[in-house]
Chains A and B, each alone.
Chain A
Amino acid sequence: MQKFFLGVDIGSLYTKLVVINSNCVIVHSDIFKTMARNNKRDDVIDQVINQFKVDYTCSTGYGRKLLKAADLIKTELYCASAGVTQLNPIDKTIIDIGGEDIKLLKSDKNGKVVDFYMNSKCAAGTGAFITEVAERAELDVLDMSRLAAKSTSDKELNSFCTVFAKTEIMKWIFDDTSDEDLAKGIYISIANRIQKIPTDNSLPVYLIGGVAQYHPYLQNIIGEKFNVRVTIPEKPQLINAFGAACIAQKSFVNHLNPEP
Chain B
Amino acid sequence: MYEIAASALLKEVMNNYFQDLKTRSKPLAWCTSVGPAELLRSFGFDVYFPENHGALLGATRKAMDYIPVASKIGYPSDICSYLTSDIGSHIQKSTPLTKHYGLDAQPIPDLIVYNTNQCREVQDWFSYFANQYKCPILGIVPPRHMDEVKQADIDNVSSQFKSLIPECERVSGNKFDIDQFRETLRLSKEATLLWKKTLETSIQTPAPISFFDATIHMGPIVVLRGTETAKAYYKVLSDELELNVKNKVGFLPKETSRIYWEGMPIWGRLRFLSDLFAQHHSAVVASTYCNSWIFDDFDERTPFESSALAYTKIFINRSERAKLTILKDLINDFRITGVIFHEAKTCFNNSNSRFGMPAKLKEETGVETLIIEGDLCDLRFFSEEQSTIKIETLLEQISS
Interfacial residues, chain A to chain B (CB-CB below 8 A)? 62, 74-78, 101, 112-113, 116, 118-121, 198
Q: Which of A101, A116, A119, A121 meets B393, CB within 8 Å?
A: A116
Of B20-28, B181-189, B251-259, B383-391, the stretch lying at the interface with chain A is B383-391
Chain B residue contacts of A74, Cβ below 8 A: 396
B171 within 8 A of A: no
B392 within 8 A of A: yes
Chain A residue contacts of B396, Cβ below 8 A: 74-75, 77-78, 113
In the complex, the answer to whether A75 meets B400 with C-beta atoms within 8 Å is: no
Q: Which of A101, A113, A118, A198 meets B397, CB within 8 Å?
A: A113
Min Cβ gap A104→B in Å is 12
Chain B, 349-379, CB within 8 A of any chain A CB: 359, 372-373
| A1 and B61 alpha carbons, distance in the complex (Å) | 56
Q: Which of B381, B383, B387, B393 meets A113, CB within 8 Å?
A: B393
| A209 and B355 alpha carbons, distance in the complex (Å) | 31
Chain B residue contacts of A75, Cβ below 8 A: 389, 392-393, 396
| A78 and B373 alpha carbons, distance in the complex (Å) | 21
| A204 and B95 alpha carbons, distance in the complex (Å) | 55
Chain B residue contacts of A118, Cβ below 8 A: 386, 389-390, 393
Q: Which of A113, A116, A120, A198 meets B386, CB within 8 Å?
A: A120
Min Cβ gap B235→A in Å is 42
Give the size range of B's interface with the partner.
10 to 19
Number of A-B contacts (CB under 8 A): 39
Enumerate 14 A-B pairs (CB-CB under 8 Å) in ascending A order.
Answer: A62-B389, A75-B392, A75-B393, A75-B396, A112-B400, A113-B393, A113-B397, A116-B397, A120-B372, A120-B383, A120-B386, A120-B387, A121-B381, A121-B383
| A120 and B381 alpha carbons, distance in the complex (Å) | 9
Chain B residue contacts of A116, Cβ below 8 A: 390, 393, 397
Chain B residue contacts of A119, Cβ below 8 A: 386
| A101 and B359 alpha carbons, distance in the complex (Å) | 23
Chain A residue contacts of B392, Cβ below 8 A: 75
In the complex, the answer to whether A76 meets B389 with C-beta atoms within 8 Å is: yes
In the complex, the answer to whether A77 meets B389 with C-beta atoms within 8 Å is: yes
| A119 and B385 alpha carbons, distance in the complex (Å) | 11
In the complex, the answer to whether B373 meets A120 with C-beta atoms within 8 Å is: yes
Chain A residue contacts of B390, Cβ below 8 A: 116, 118, 120
Looking across the interface, which residue of chain B has its beta carbon closest to that of A119?
A: B386
| A7 and B166 alpha carbons, distance in the complex (Å) | 73
In the complex, the answer to whether A101 meets B400 with C-beta atoms within 8 Å is: no
| A135 and B381 alpha carbons, distance in the complex (Å) | 28
Chain A residue contacts of B393, Cβ below 8 A: 75, 77-78, 113, 116, 118
Chain A residue contacts of B373, Cβ below 8 A: 120-121
Min Cβ gap B19→A in Å is 42
In the complex, the answer to whether A62 meets B385 with C-beta atoms within 8 Å is: yes
Encode B222-246 as 1/0 by CB contact (under 8 A) with A. 0000000000000000000000000
Min Cβ gap B341→A in Å is 13
Known: A75-B393, A198-B359. 16 other contacts (CB 8 A): A75-B396, A77-B393, A78-B393, A78-B400, A113-B396, A113-B397, A113-B400, A116-B390, A116-B397, A118-B389, A118-B390, A119-B386, A120-B373, A120-B383, A120-B387, A121-B381
Chain B residue contacts of A101, Cβ below 8 A: 386
| A83 and B400 alpha carbons, distance in the complex (Å) | 16
Q: Give the 5 A-B residue pairs with the shortest CB-CB distance, closest first.
A: A120-B386, A77-B393, A75-B393, A120-B383, A75-B392
Min Cβ gap A78→B in Å is 5
| A10 and B397 alpha carbons, distance in the complex (Å) | 21
Best-surrounded residue of B359, B372, B397 (most CB of chain A within 10 A):
B397
| A113 and B400 alpha carbons, distance in the complex (Å) | 9
Chain B residue contacts of A78, Cβ below 8 A: 393, 396, 400
Best-surrounded residue of A116, A119, A120 (most CB of chain B within 10 A):
A120
Chain B residue contacts of A113, Cβ below 8 A: 393, 396-397, 400
Looking across the interface, which residue of chain A has its beta carbon closest to that of B356?
A: A198
Chain B residue contacts of A77, Cβ below 8 A: 389, 393, 396
Best-surrounded residue of B359, B372, B392, B393 (most CB of chain A within 10 A):
B393
| A89 and B42 alpha carbons, distance in the complex (Å) | 68
Min Cβ gap B368→A in Å is 9
Min Cβ gap B209→A in Å is 28
| A113 and B386 alpha carbons, distance in the complex (Å) | 17
Min Cβ gap A16→B in Å is 17
| A60 and B372 alpha carbons, distance in the complex (Å) | 20
Looking across the interface, which residue of chain A has its beta carbon closest to that of B391?
A: A75
Looking across the interface, which residue of chain B has its beta carbon closest to that of A65?
A: B388
Min Cβ gap A115→B in Å is 8
| A78 and B393 alpha carbons, distance in the complex (Å) | 7
| A75 and B398 alpha carbons, distance in the complex (Å) | 13
| A223 and B393 alpha carbons, distance in the complex (Å) | 27
Chain B residue contacts of A121, Cβ below 8 A: 373, 381, 383
| A113 and B394 alpha carbons, distance in the complex (Å) | 9
Looking across the interface, which residue of chain B has its beta carbon closest to that of A61?
A: B389
Min Cβ gap B20→A in Å is 42
| A112 and B359 alpha carbons, distance in the complex (Å) | 18
Chain A residue contacts of B381, Cβ below 8 A: 121
